[in-house]
Amino acid sequence: MTVYVFRRLLGIFPVLILVALGSFLLVHLVPGDPAMVMLGNDATPQQIQALKTQMGLDRSLPEQFALWGRQVLRGNLGESFFLGRPVTQSLIERLPATLQLALLSLVFSLLIGIPAGILAAVRQNTKWDQLIMITAMGGISIPSFWLGLFLILVFSVQLGWLPSGGYAPLWDDFWGGLRILVLPSISLGFMQAALIARMTRSSMLEVLRQDYVRTAKAKGLDWWRVTLKHALKNAMIPVITTIGTAFGVLLGGAVIVEIVFTYPGLGRLVVLAVQRRDYPLVQGALLLASVIYVLVNLAVDLLYGVFDPRIKYE
């Protein structure tokens, strides 16, 4: 297994090279010029050119890429044009905020999604099943920004129970931070909960029809044991894939929800960086997002073995 993990980790490098090249080309080919954004509408062409030279943007694209690539290989993602500080530092500062929001959203989506999926499967074609599936359909269809604004209107403005936005690190102020996180986590986790519920249901339905489940029932095992131990464990492989993807998405930065809730996470940083054409920051954030994705996928693959001991890693 160690060899397998090592091999997978080595596999990150070609992915990162591709992502680095792709993100570099993407941000540089989109029309826009950080010097123009920084200097404002009234800057003269001469002033813009001078700043471009200072930023190193007057060089050719391959030259710029080579310079940046050399820096990245040394572990330096460059300096943000606008924030005036290292990209790595800016990303690390945002990571805890995104991490706590992603984790809480994931917990929320698991707590809702898995029981709802199981219930819909064991009560297939009943009112329960229909209710859960309609809600899940709603969860997938309702845009998270709409749900966010709706929750703010009800729970912040009307009832005054929870704050409408902001951020407090959980390790500084646990309860205060948690109160802030409730609404964004629900808006973010609702869609993932819906996806997880649908996947759990369909996977459970398939497993519940298997011979060994019928045998277990025939042997007189109680309902809970059959459903939660024998069936659920075997139904988890596709569900875990969904959870892994969901976590990757949540960690990559929940752009819209972060904007609605004024939450200073990675997603908002990336949007701001794109809006300002802060090339080093966009490129750094995309690299970080891809590392996170690869690592989450690796964790998901390793988890398969926990649920299905037949899977071996070589």
Partner 1 sequence: MRRKLGLFAMAPAALAAILLTISPAVAGAPVQGGTLRAALTASAPTLDPHSGTHLAIREIGLHVFENLLAFDAKFQIVPQLAERWEASADGKVYTFTLRNGVKFHNGREMTAEDVRVSVERFRAVAPRRNELDGLAKLEVVSPSVVRMTLNKPDASFLAAIANPICQLAILPKEAVEGRPINKADIIGTGPYKFVEWIPDRWVRLARFADYKPEGKAEAGGFGGARSAYADEIRFVPVPEPGARVAGLQTGEYEFADFLPSASIPQLTGDRSLRIVRLGPQNYPTVYFNHTGKFKSLKLRQAVQAALNMDEIMQVANDGDGRVDPGLYFKEQVWHTTAGGKLYNQKNPAKAKQLLKEAGYNGEPVVFVTNTSYDYMYKAAQVIQEQLKKVGMNVTLGVYDWPGSLAVRKDMTKWDLFTSSHSTRFDPSANDFYFREKTTFFGYKNPKMEVLLDKASAATKFEERYKIYEEVQKLTYEDVALLKLYDHYTWQGHSAKLQGYTPWVQVRLWNLWREK
Query: How many residues sit close enough to partner 1 to count as binding (CB under 8 A)?
Result: 46
Which residue among 3, 14, 29, 41 contacts partner 1 (CB under 8 A)? Answer: 41
**Buried b / exposed e along 119-141 (16+ C-beta atoms within 10 A):** bbbbeeeeeebeebbebbeebee
Q: How many CB atoms lie within 10 A of CB 168?
A: 18
Per CB under 8 A, contacts with partner 1 among 50-69 are: 51, 54
Select 230 or 277, whichever has its Cβ closest to partner 1. Answer: 277
Q: Is the dihedral of CA 18, 21, 27, 29 positive or negative?
A: negative
Residue from 83, 112, 216, 251 that binds partner 1 (CB under 8 A)?
A: 83
264 vs 305, which CB is nearer to partner 1?
264
Output the smallest distance, CB 175 to partner 1, in A. 17
List the one residue from 4, 12, 28, 36 that touches partner 1 (CB under 8 A): 36
- Is 175 near partner 1 (CB under 8 A)? no
- Give the x-and-dash track for 111-140 against partner 1 (CB under 8 A): ------------------------------
The correct pick among 69, 86, 166, 305 for binding partner 1 (CB under 8 A) is 166
Q: Which is nearer to partner 1, 208 or 260 (CB)?
A: 260
Site string for partner 1, 263-302 (x = CB under 8 A): -x---xx--x--xxx-------------------------
Question: Should residue 45 be labelled a site residue for partner 1 when binding is judged by CB under 8 A?
Answer: yes
- Please give the residue ranges that form the binding site for partner 1 (CB under 8 A): 30-34, 36-45, 47, 51, 54, 81-84, 90, 93, 149, 152-153, 156-157, 160, 163-167, 259-262, 264, 268-269, 272, 275-277
